Amino acid sequence: MKTLTVTEVSPRQVRLFIGGQWMDASDRKTFQQVSPATGDVMGFVADASREDARAAIAAAGRARRSMARLTVFERSGLCQRIADAIVARQALLAPELSLEQG
């Protein structure tokens, strides 16, 4: 098993996820994500506008209606799949979260 150091995270572009689609901010603005521990730029994050927030709220409303039609067991299964995906990616997520939090 390889031991990763937190300095092995490469800067990257982080986009918005709205309505099942990855996208840039509508005005294309971004901001730097800087590690409080090192001061290094970790990436550039889409800077969501009010228009983007409205689109996300509308998408969440549509998703809520879809989710409401599922049984509690189906919703539970979705939550379990999300948890499994996080566990499967923990080696990638841990260094980034450590740098992000300082």
Q: What is the mean pLDDT of the chain?
A: 90
- Per-residue pLDDT averaged across 25-39, rounded? 93
| Cβ neighbour number for residue 95 with a 10 Å cutoff | 15
Q: Which CATH number fits domain 6-101: 2.60.40.1120, 3.40.1080.10, 3.40.50.2300, 3.40.605.10?
A: 3.40.605.10
| Stretch 48-64: mean pLDDT | 97
Mean pLDDT, rounded, for 14-42: 94
Q: Is the pLDDT of residue 66 over 50?
A: yes
Whether 4 has a pLDDT exceeding 50, the answer reads no
Question: Pairing relation of β-strands 41-46 and 12-14?
Answer: parallel
pLDDT band at 10 (very low <50, low <70, confident <90, very high): confident
Domain ranges across the chain: 6-101
Across residues 39-60, what is the average pLDDT?
A: 96
Instruction: Indicate yes or no: pTM above 0.85.
Output: no
- Counting residues of the chain whose pLDDT is more than 90, the rounded percentage is 71
